[in-house]
Homo-oligomer: A and B are copies of this chain.
Amino acid sequence: MARGRPREEGIDDAVREAVRALLTESGYQRCTIDAVAARAGVGKAAVYRRWRSKAELVFATVVHPVELEPPSDTGSLRGDVAAVLEVIQSSLDSVELRQALPSLLADVRADPVLETRFGEVFLGRERGYLVQMLDRAVARGELSRRPDPALVHAILLGPVLTWLHLFTETPPSSGLGASLASPLHAAVVALGA
């Protein structure tokens, strides 16, 4: 049984909401813990009682809750690739995440615990889905052998990530995922030929 005064309900959500608002309004650097606590109407200690660091708080707020649904079996590799690209893109294009990502990645890289968790939560899960997708394609006879999943991962995730975080221009009107689906399908096919 839990001893002492229990954690107050609602503080977790209030803090996370404050983080999202401040990230959107001011970006990662000016989203300070003091500002977050003030905005949430909470003491700093209550924040640090729940998350070990700013990076962990932001990670838990904007990355962890992203539910990567397993992309459904669309019946063809082409359809599966298009679906995966949509999932990847939609998981990356929230305003908060685009604001936070460069600095967050830097901080995550500096914290071994967070780096491991990032690898598992973000990359590992996505990689697993890709393996399923590739195995289905092999079973259908669309690929003669299963290509290196890491290469496929880089080929599908890389262009989306790079566009959203390095390029300043707006994505093509048809949508980034849609524009990439056809060429990247061809790339995967070439890898598995």
Interface residues of A (CB under 8 A from B): 27-29, 102-103, 105-106, 109-110, 115, 119, 123, 148, 150-151, 153-155, 157-163, 165-169, 172, 179-180, 182-191
* Assembled-state Cα–Cα distance A165/B160 (Å): 14
- Chain copies in complex: 2
Of all chain B residues, the one with the shortest Cβ separation from A155 is B159
* Assembled-state Cα–Cα distance A158/B162 (Å): 5
| A147 nearest CB across to chain B (Å) | 8
| A44 nearest CB across to chain B (Å) | 23
A-B pairs with beta carbons under 8 Å apart, 5 shown? A27-B110, A119-B168, A148-B172, A157-B158, A161-B162
Q: Quick one: which of A159, A185, A189 has the most chain B CB within 10 A?
A: A159
* Assembled-state Cα–Cα distance A115/B168 (Å): 10
Q: Within 8 Å CB of A169, what residues of B? A: 150
* Assembled-state Cα–Cα distance A66/B87 (Å): 35
* Assembled-state Cα–Cα distance A168/B185 (Å): 25
Of all chain B residues, the one with the shortest Cβ separation from A161 is B162
| A92 nearest CB across to chain B (Å) | 12
